[in-house]
A and B are shown apart, each in its own frame.
Chain A
Amino acid sequence: MRIAVPRGALFRETLDRLDGLGVDTAEVRANDRKLLFEDAGIVTMRPSDVATYVEAGAADLGITGKDVLAEQSERGVYELLDLGFGGCTMVFATVEGEDSAGEALRRLGMMRIATKYPRIAARYFERTGRQVEIVEVKGSVELAPLTGMVHGIVDLTATGTTLRENGLVVREEIMESTARLIANPVSYRLKAAEIDGVLERLRAR
């Protein structure tokens, strides 16, 4: 079996869980640049790519955040288990002080929102009946309202420190996210016994 492991915030805890399954992760921990670890059955990548590799069958299992799965909800992968770690919150935030986004909504009839999660943001504002223009950015979202490009942002936050340091405040919480174990639909059937074994040991923890 091959497992897709996310580099970044979920990396260490994911490897700890794999240690618990008896996977030897020493080489993965020691090597920052290598991507494919054939012996350990591990491939490492950005969290947002995990669902892509698992859907294609390039990995049988993967670990990634619920935020990624919600953003890419049409992916054909099985969401098997809430691993409980990596907890964070998807929030709507604006510059502190007067509510500039609400003001924009009143006077312009819409808000401009910067995000790395265009689908989650669009769905949320549609559901709550507010007209928005989504601006997709790839890097630090906090910059967008500070430069006046947008009225607010939708982003993931764990502690809120980065938001605070950039003078942004959380106005609304959209969803909670934790790490999830996902499986390729073909592997889910053809490797059912192995996958159920992994699940059982992860649940027992």
Chain B
Amino acid sequence: MIHPIPSGTRDVLPDELRELRAITDGMRAVFDARSYGEVATPALEYEDVLTRGDQAAADPAYRLFDEHGNVLVLRSDMTIPIARVVATRYPSAPVPLRFYYLQHAYRAVHQHRAQPREILQVGIELVGAPGPEGTAEAVTVLCAALDAAGLRSYRVGLGDASLFSRALERAGVEDGARDTILHELATRDLVGLERELARAGSPDGLLELATTRGGIDTLDGVPEAEPLRALYDGLPEDVRARVIFDLGLVRTLGYYTGAVFEVYDAAFGAPIGGGGRYDDLLGRFGRELPACGWALDVERVHAARLEEGVV
């Protein structure tokens, strides 16, 4: 008998699970050694609680009603639930707090795009440690986790969610035009970006700024990049070697406030993970703390590792 399961979901059988386990066990050892404690939260949350964090970022794709008519949603990431946990369960605990998780998140899919509805994520949240030191710790743990997973050729793209809007402000571009320009950048349309910058009087060097990718020397002469330089100074040598600065990098989630990062591996066509600073999110749940975190898609890490041929 054949009984179907929804598109974008799958059964994981022992051969694969053994390999996934080897990856996550290696990462767990890294987190344990650095005093990160594992947390689990319910897959189902109240919609009005989750969207309190960030309406767009929470973006729940699956909703249902409980027996009292409350709207429940399947979480779409782990950062917002952990922000809720910190405010609720650690209202006055000394900081920094260090958490890690290995949990599923749920997303909507486009039809026929081979996208998963259920994503196994591993990640950390470092709460109460401001940048740049806190960010440097998070990026260092990220690289240690990827090393433990056996990836060899990964790189970490580093950018800053507020960098380009600050550069626009310095160039004297008005508010309204700024939003249009940032939209072109967020939708990765550099033709549109050039057009909109031209409409705003082609401020000097901004198109070049948005397309700058490279080493530490690419930050020279960019005052907005000073926080990134401070972050770089706090990274150990082996992590620095993994870094690609990307001054046009914008993560799509709305809650990022400062440094953002993405993980690339030549063996996989899309980023295998990412994260950044979200210094305002905790405050929306009632405990104002700077925070930083990242998540990796375990199945993509596994796919990249297979492709690299390291199994």
Contact = CB atoms under 8 A, between A and B. Distances in A.
Interface of A: 55-58, 73-74, 76-82, 180, 184-186, 188-190, 192-193, 196
A190 B191 contact: no
Contacts of B246: 189
Interface stretch (B123-131, B196-204, B268-276, B284-292): B268-276
Interface string B251-292: 000000000001011101111000000000000000000000
A82 B191 contact: yes
16 contacts: A55-B269, A57-B270, A73-B187, A74-B110, A76-B188, A76-B270, A78-B188, A79-B188, A79-B189, A79-B190, A184-B269, A185-B188, A186-B264, A186-B269, A186-B271, A192-B244
A140 to B, nearest CB: 24
B132 interface: no
A55 B269 CA distance: 7
B214 interface: yes
B213 interface: yes
B191 A180 contact: yes
Nearest to A66: B191
Contacts of B264: 186, 189-190
B214 A186 contact: no
Given A76-B188, A79-B191, A190 B266 contact: yes
A11 B214 CA distance: 33
A188 B213 contact: yes
Contacts of A82: 191
Contacts of A74: 110
B110 A56 contact: no
A192 B269 contact: no
Given A185-B188, A186-B266, A192 B213 contact: yes
A201 to B, nearest CB: 15
Interface in B96-129: 110
B155 interface: yes
Q: Which 6 A-B pairs have the closest CB atoms?
A: A57-B269, A192-B213, A78-B188, A79-B189, A186-B264, A82-B191
A49 to B, nearest CB: 13
Contacts of A76: 188, 270
A149 B187 CA distance: 36
Interface string B168-202: 00000000000000000001111110000000000
A57 B304 CA distance: 12
Given A189-B244, A192-B213, A80 B191 contact: yes
B190 A81 contact: yes
Interface residues of B, number: 22
A58 B269 CA distance: 7
Contacts of A56: 269-270
B293 interface: no
A55 B271 CA distance: 11
Given A78-B188, A79-B188, A79-B191, A192 B270 contact: no
B157 interface: yes
B191 A185 contact: no
Given A189-B157, A189-B246, A57 B268 contact: yes
A11 to B, nearest CB: 21
Contacts of B270: 55-57, 76, 185-186
A57 to B, nearest CB: 2
A84 to B, nearest CB: 11
A71 B171 CA distance: 34
Contacts of B110: 74
Nearest to A192: B213
B271 A185 contact: yes
Nearest to B218: A192
B254 to A, nearest CB: 17
B155 A189 contact: yes
